[in-house]
Amino acid sequence: MTATLETTVTVSWGQIDHAAASVRAHTDRHRQLVVGSLGVHAAGESPGRVEVFVPAPDQPKACAGLLAWMDTLDHATLVLRYCDDDPQARAYAQLSDGTPITVVAPLDPTRLHGVESDRTGEWVLHWLRWQAVETA
């Protein structure tokens, strides 16, 4: 018996265009949001999605940037990904038109006060606020 893998992936340019237009309209409406880099992804029949990395000159500003995005998104779930070399805080959410978006704030591995494993939810929100206080 021989197995073959389907390697053809149909890129949905319409989904990419829709996701790009959605995030552009969102940042036009919310001019206070900062973007370090932005990616738009789509494959097959799945809807396009957006991934934003907030700039991270330091941890307090990265956390404040993620919180600013959180204030403008719908149905957000927060995750703090703990690891020694690339810790991140992430918000998985939707833009107002339902386009999926992930906003990522890189964290300083030497400043993960009180974090010893991955965390989610309200705990992450409070931790981000505590970290962002230094920018005030």
**Angle at which helices 59-70 and 122-132 cross, to 10°:** 130
Task: Identify the band that residue 62 occupies on the pLDDT scale cut at 50, 70 and 90.
Answer: very high
Q: What is the pTM of this model?
A: 0.86
3-state secondary structure of 53: strand
Whether the predicted pLDDT of 61 surpasses 60:
yes
Q: Is residue 52 over pLDDT 90? A: yes
**Phi then psi for 12, rounded to 5 degrees?**
-95, 90
Residue 2: per-residue pLDDT: 58
Domain boundaries, given as residue ranges, for the chain: 13-135
